[in-house]
Structure formats: C-alpha cells, structure tokens
Amino acid sequence: MSISVANFITQYLRPALPSTSDWSDATLGYWIDAALLDISRSFPRKAYALWSAVAGTYFYSFADSTTTADETTIIRILNCVYPYSITSLTGPPMLRKSHLDEDFLGGPYYDPDPDAQVIYIGTALTTAQLIYADCHIYWKVATATIVNPAEHLELIRLFCIWQAFLHQAADVTSSPVPDSSLLNAVALESRRAEIAYRAAYQKLAEAHATSIFTRGWAMDKWDRNTGGSKNNPGSASFRTGFR
C-alpha cells in the first residue's frame, strides 16, 4: 500500500480538519512526518544493515551501512552475523554483550548503541568480509509517498486531526482577548481527537505489534522487509474517530 502525500492530504485530511484553510500542505506534511515517527515506536519497519569489516576496527556507524545510510533511521539492531555470505545468505550468529565488559574484545560478541548510532564488534575482523544485522527502522515519507501498510493510514489521519485541534487551541489561547467558550470547545475537540488516536493506536498494537511487549528485540509478524519483501500488510481494518 502506498499513497502520495498530496493525495493523502486531499482524501484523508482536508475533509476532516476543523478549518480546511488554516493549514498549509507543508504544515500537514510536517504532521504526517511526526505521525510516522510516533507510529514507528510500536510498528517499526523491518530492514537489514550491512557493513564491510575492517581489520582492527571494532565499532561501525549505522550511517556507514550499505543498506541503511541515514544515521537517524535505525531504531534497534535485532541480531548480528559475522562473517556473512551474500551467496548463501547465512553466517555464524554473534552474541549480544556489553562492549564495556572486559572480555568483550576477542569474543563473538556485538553491542549496538542506538543513541550513539554505532555497533561494537568484539571478534577479530578480516578486511572486506561482511557484518550483517536485521534491524528496525523508522517509517519515512519516500519521494513524496507514504509507503506504510494500509492499517497505518487511519492512525496518520487521526494524529494529524489531533495536531490541528491542538494548534487551534493554542492559537485561541494566544489571542489578545481569548474567547473562553471557543477555547473550551476547541480544547474539548483536541482531547477527543487525542483519545481517538490513542485508542486506535492501542487497538492496532494489541492486534499486531507483539514486539511492543518484548522491548522490540523479538521479531514478529508485523516486521517486514524493505524493497522486494514478500510480506504483505495484514488485512485488519477499522475506522475510528472524526470525519
């Protein structure tokens, strides 16, 4: 499932906004990006990272991966294999262990640090052999297209509606002479929109995101590959909230 940002705004957002003329396409596009970041917490996209090993180098930047070049993209590393064969698509798995442990270096260990966006490797490496890792990455708009599964579109819509009411309430509050009745009405709609979004989010999490309950380290049926994946989005659909 994919839809252009322009079509998503026309079909999903403009008919549901409190005032269609208040929000530019650029503002709505910003909220769509924010929605994708929030959705990625529980419904990350599955990808893989691949580094070319260098003898004597024990840590590698996420940004240096040949498949995930954006250093802000990777949320978590799920496993690590070295040396990895692109012919057989296999290799010996490594064990996760803190790189601060005194026996880390020299052992078959790895330690990802998503905050620093680097992965530490304990074993002695041979130049030009490959390090492979499955990973979760953030959903992002690609070439002005939302590529998320269909189930995410309702969450994105509800998130953007919530932001519209939230900003409308902020505008009323900042007025030189705030209209208290208008402020109360907009604040109520903002809260209703937030509840609708969070309820829909939780419903989808309970149906699909088993990793949410295992701190993201277990790969589950919601994980999916980027580019050429044979995994199709699930068939569950629902509509919640405002129109």
pLDDT tens digits, one per residue of 99-112: 999 999 999 999 99
Average pLDDT over residues 39-44: 88
pLDDT > 70: percent of the chain:
78
For residue 12, pLDDT over 90 is answered with: yes
Query: What does the pLDDT read at residue 33?
Result: 95
For residue 202, pLDDT over 50 is answered with: yes
What are the tens digits of pLDDT across the range 64-92?
Answer: 898 876 656 888 899 999 999 999 999 99
For residue 179, pLDDT over 90 is answered with: no
For residue 216, pLDDT over 80 is answered with: no
What are the tens digits of pLDDT across the range 62-71?
Answer: 988 988 766 5
- What count of Cα atoms within 13 Å lies in the side-chain half-sphere of residue 228? 1
Q: Where are the domains positioned within the chain?
A: 3-43+141-213, 45-137
For residue 218, pLDDT over 70 is answered with: no
* Stretch among 54-58, 132-136, 171-175 having the lowest mean pLDDT: 171-175
More confident: 94 or 231: 94
CB 229 within 8 A of CB 149: no
Query: What does the pLDDT read at residue 213?
Result: 38
What is the pTM for the complete model shown?
0.73
Peptide bond into 176 cis (omega under 30): no
- Report the distance separating Cα 163 and Cα 161, nearest Å: 5
Average pLDDT over residues 180-186: 72
What are the tens digits of pLDDT across the range 118-164?
Answer: 999 999 999 989 999 999 988 989 889 999 999 999 999 999 999 99
